[in-house]
Structure 1
Amino acid sequence: MKIPHILVSWCVICCVSGQNFMGSSGRDDLFSATSNLEELLTREGEIVRMVDKYLQAAQERLDTIRSYVNDYRHLTGSGSRGSDTGVGALSSVVAHPIDAYLLLKRLTVEWGMVEDAMTHHANATAGLVQRVLLFREHSTFPDLDDLHGAAVALVRLQDTYRLNMTTLPAGAFTGVGQHTHEFQSVKQLTARDCLFLGKHAFNKGYYDKAIEWFEAALDLVEGAGDRSVPREEIEPFLTAAMNVHDDILEKRGPRGVDWQTNPVPMDKTLAKKLRYSSVAQDTFMPKLYQHQTDQEEEEHYTRLCRGEKLRPSSIESVLVCRYSDNGEAYLRLMPLQLEEMSLDPYIIVMHNFLTDTQTQAVIERAKPRLTASRHRSPDGGFVSSMVRTSKNAWLREADSKDDMMTKMTMKIEKATGLEALAPSAGEDYQVANYGIGGLYVTHTDYLMINPDPAAYLPWEHFIGDRYGTFMVYLSDVEAGGATVFPRAGVTIWPRRGSAAFWWNLYRSGTGDENTRHGACPVLHGSKWISNKWIHYNDQFLKHNCGLNTWDKLSYP
């Protein structure tokens, strides 16, 4: 079945305007970090102040012009705009000497004032446009790539959290995680917005979600009387999307790397086929602590992001919260508040590891340095894409004049029993801020997975792979934004000042695949984190290799 021309045209336009919606114009995108959006709102405030000042002056000029027009209509009795006044009526007006005098006054003195008002208005308009253009040239403002990226992010939120499409166009949804109350936007989407989002959903292979957006657009036109787009423009997209949805489902199945559909066709005749009769009876069975296909991993990821429990009670019942000083005198008076999230792989959360003052200080130091986050591509290089939508900055202990970062690292050393301060032992702090639907798909923190030693630099061989990850949550997140481990069935909800820690490697230095993890999309709020990766080779004095390849560490 051929894809309808109307959708082919859209795909071409979308692909040309922004390949992966991540900085194709040669600059960092704006939608992937809330700090950028906050700054953007401030810049918009500057423009609004310019426009408001212009409007106040323009109103005075318009009052002068309107007064002139109204005087004429009142005098001649021509109340409606453009109505003609008869010759007799005109004669009666100029017959009176005072009216004749006022006519001359209007066409000399008063017309001069009107002419000045119109000239000043035109000049002020041109001046405002020039000032705004100049302001935009010297500041960073969004372009169409940012809009496309934000649209895709919103579709991902809809998909990951199964947002109710009855209320989402009106800006209302229920949170997940620590806050499950309803969130309401200030403004609502129009039918034109829903059509736009449906096109993006289709272009990214979310055929099921595209249909929902097109249907939402129709509902707004028919039910709410929305006139932003005619019904006739929406219906061809909805019909075409349904046809492509069913064609993809029939030929390729309901889910793949770059597409997804509903499990049952939209066409009622096709839906009666025997192959779809048992779909409703299919039940999800978690597949933990073993290899997962891309589709299985994505399914586990999204379910954990939504807060679903995938582990049996036999695993969760042995997890405890406890105090620990890790054998360090420094921690004896203020022990670590440990919450065990998993024993295999070993994952813990240290509550209240940093104070609010410390977390805010880290954020403020990172803000000026934020750039688009990158991830390692299959060819070994680092790229920016929708796989990781955030911005990050790197902070060194040596850059901190007040030793705050150094003291943080020293506390991490005492909490983990690892060497982290030396350049060969620990990486610089990576501080990341996630924006609209900000996420990082499932990945491993250890990087040395190529069996060819020549693939890595001498320095990488010298320091070894990332032994442990120490991740501090620098902000609370009102909804979404969890860190999840699809193979281990673990979900960690962000809490300001808390730190998550896990071992990425076995004691032999081999990567533990069960530590594959991802950052769930931020549904509401702003997410800030800071990562400290600790490398393997500098730990040789503190940790033996183990008796076999698969020996693990399970402390602090």
Structure 2
Amino acid sequence: MIIFTLACTVLIFLQSTAVSGDMVTALADMEGLVSTELQLVKHLENYIQEEESRLKRLKGFLEEYESIYQEASADPTTYLANPLNAYLLVKRLTSDWKKVKSVISRNVGSDFVKNITQHKNDMRLPTDEDLNGAAVALTRLQDTYQLDTHALAEGKVLGKKNSRQLTADDCWELGRQSYNNGDHYHTVLWMSEALSKLENESNKTVSRQDILGYLAFSTYKQGNVKEALHLTRELLKIVPYHHQALGNIRHYERLLREQETTRKQTAAIDDVTTGERFNATNLKLEKTLKTFGVPNDLWDNYEKLCRGEKLLDPNIEGRLRCRYVTNNVPFFFIQPVKLEEAFLKPLLVIYHDVIFDEEIETVKKLAHPRLKRTTVQNMETGESIPVKYRISKAAFLRDDEHHLVSKVSRRVGYITGLDMTTAEDLQVCNYGIGGHYVPHFDYAKKGEVHGPRDLEWGNRIATWLFYMSDVEAGGATVFPSLGVAIWPRKGSAAFWYNLYPNGEGNENTRHAACPVLTGSKWVSNKWIHERNQELRRPCALNYNSEM
């Protein structure tokens, strides 16, 4: 194929040089062909070298993909449980694959690319949006669990090395995705790491100027004008006529001159600059807090609890007990239920060994084909919409779909003593890389409804949450107001009342699903409504009673 292409190249070249038709009529004109031939030889040599280089690159890509595939295929679940591996898989099939296609498309590979495109629907390749989502998830984990950038780049999560090291290009892509999201804090972190990685790479995976371009501007946006100026000058040494860099450098120099006009102005601007750097890490958080309506102290508690920090008052913790309960249900006399108190007011309990492996596998098998991105209801339009603050996929199972689903639902009723005819279908959720749900209430506030059933059945009086998998790291259910964290344990379930006996919502039940750091988290829950619970959980004589 290469010989055929070379022959075509020679033919085209000769045709183009003989257009005038009278070159061979004079020897003097023919003498010029000697130098032309020399140029042609050089062109052919360069072409062959480029083709050989192209094939060498493709072989390198092939070897890398085969090596990683062998590692991943041995145990896909364990491999993808690591967030770095999950991110790199998406990256390999998006931005990295674009590079492979680019190399292939330079010649006969275009037919191969066309064939790949025709089978795109069958292959289910991730999109650029998937890559952005994977990058955002990784930076979310980085913030929540205070993970060191360099350690992540070395493939270490919580001190354990269970992933390949990131290349300079891997880090650069993380920085680029952060930049595109307006997240200059993480852009600086990952572009700086990319620059460090690049210095030690024998085969450079990204260009220094590409890193410096992003790093310089994001450093400026972080408030460090001097460093931005230094980085921009470094960029101009490599690309002297970089249009954007030339404009930026004039802007930075002008800012620095203004800062130096007076000592007072310098101090004031330094204060602003320092403040910008201090607030940079929380820039997205402030926007998030405003959107979610979560107070700063509760958000701080949320992240601390996710990291495993103990916030529960020791005096309260000392009064918590574990016991066996029967709830006057006959078959619980033979095998009582194991109850663990997590908090007393409001009552928050954990039941152990209340869903079994066969039931879990059946529920997962039924739900898996129907899993869809979880949504929340827009309170203005009533439309269900996907949001960045709830990252998971879910499916609903009716009791009549399988006898084990019905059995599980009945068990919830027996244990809680509540009527399950006004409980919603079993919602099954799976959280993947960085999957989470920020602090929220399960009950509907005044003027809100979760759906049409709220109007018929009343508010969500209680929540039952099954844990259907263990999670290696992260994924806790936390209650920021209470200082309580419940860690996923396969076969257990958490239960709490969302409402006071008078029907008012209990704000202390605000809870969150922490980001999954490593592993895959499976849960299922039943939301139980007020209707039919009047005699099972009657109102107290005192309207303001909490019990």
Deviations 1:86-107 (A, max 9, x none): xxxxxxxxxxxxxxxxxxxxxx
245, 248, 262: which is aligned to 2:222? 245
Question: What residue number does 2:136 align with?
Answer: 152
Helix, strand or coil at the partner of 1:534: strand
Whether 1:167 and 2:168 are equivalent positions in the alignment is: no
Matches within 5 A, 1:372-521: 372-379=373-380, 380-400=382-402, 403-420=403-420, 422=421, 425-450=422-447, 459-521=453-515
The code of the aligned residue for 2:373 comes to A
Residue pair 1:506, 1:549 contacting (<8 A) in 2 also: no
Residue pair 1:510, 1:549 contacting (<8 A) in 2 also: no
Helix, strand or coil at the partner of 2:138: helix
Aligned residues: CA RMSD = 3.4
Q: Distance in 2 between matches of 1:529 and 1:519?
A: 11
Question: What residue number does 2:160 align with?
Answer: 182
Residue pair 2:372, 2:394 contacting (<8 A) in 1 also: yes
Helix, strand or coil at the partner of 2:320: coil
Deviation (angstroms), 1:357: 1.9
Question: What residue number does 2:517 align with?
Answer: 523
Deviation (angstroms), 1:503: 0.6
Higher mean C-alpha displacement, 484-493 vs 376-385: 376-385
Deviation (angstroms), 1:524: 0.5
Deviations 1:22-42 (A, max 9, x none): xxxxxxxxxxxx89x89xx9x
Deviations 1:503-527 (A, max 9, x none): 1111111111110111111111101
Helix, strand or coil at the partner of 1:488: coil
The code of the aligned residue for 2:358 comes to T
Matches within 5 A, 1:256-405: 273=271, 293-379=294-380, 380-400=382-402, 403-405=403-405
Deviations 1:471-527 (A, max 9, x none): 101111111011111111111111111101111111111111110111111111101
- When residues 276 and 525 of structure 1 are mapped into structure 2, their CA distance, relative to the original with a 3 A threshold, is same
Deviations 1:233-284 (A, max 9, x none): 2223223222212389xxxxxxxxxxxxxxxxxx99889759979x99xxxx
Whether 1:228 and 2:205 are equivalent positions in the alignment is: yes
536, 546, 552: which is aligned to 2:546? 552
Deviation (angstroms), 1:372: 0.9
- When residues 170 and 458 of structure 1 are mapped into structure 2, their CA distance, relative to the original with a 3 A threshold, is closer
- When residues 345 and 207 of structure 1 are mapped into structure 2, their CA distance, relative to the original with a 3 A threshold, is farther
Q: Distance in 1 between matches of 2:298 and 2:202?
A: 42
Q: Distance in 2 between matches of 1:213 and 1:415?
A: 50
Helix, strand or coil at the partner of 2:523: strand
Q: Distance in 2 between matches of 1:215 and 1:485?
A: 36
- When residues 240 and 134 of structure 1 are mapped into structure 2, their CA distance, relative to the original with a 3 A threshold, is closer
192, 198, 212: which is aligned to 2:169? 192
Q: Distance in 2 between matches of 1:273 and 1:147?
A: 37
The alignment's TM-score, normalised by the length of structure 1, stands at 0.65
Residue pair 2:223, 2:274 contacting (<8 A) in 1 also: no
Deviation (angstroms), 1:405: 1.2
The code of the aligned residue for 1:383 comes to I
Q: Distance in 1 between matches of 2:180 and 2:114?
A: 37
Deviations 1:114-167 (A, max 9, x none): xxxxxxx97xx7886566444432353211111111111111011111112121
- When residues 356 and 544 of structure 1 are mapped into structure 2, their CA distance, relative to the original with a 3 A threshold, is same
The code of the aligned residue for 1:413 comes to G
Q: Distance in 2 between matches of 1:529 and 1:456?
A: 20
Question: What residue number does 1:287 align with?
Answer: none
Gapped regions of structure 1 (runs ≥ 5): 1-33, 49-120, 175-180, 249-266, 281-290
Q: Distance in 1 between matches of 2:531 and 2:293?
A: 30
Q: Distance in 2 between matches of 1:271 and 1:341?
A: 49
Deviation (angstroms), 1:205: 5.2
**Paired residue total:** 395
The code of the aligned residue for 1:201 comes to S
Residue pair 1:475, 1:527 contacting (<8 A) in 2 also: yes
Q: Distance in 1 between matches of 2:452 and 2:338?
A: 39
Question: What residue number does 2:31 align with?
Answer: none
The code of the aligned residue for 2:526 comes to K
Helix, strand or coil at the partner of 1:523: strand
Deviation (angstroms), 1:189: 1.7
The code of the aligned residue for 2:344 comes to L
The code of the aligned residue for 1:341 comes to A
Question: What residue number does 2:127 align with?
Answer: 143
Residue pair 2:377, 2:450 contacting (<8 A) in 1 also: no
Q: Distance in 1 between matches of 2:352 and 2:443?
A: 25
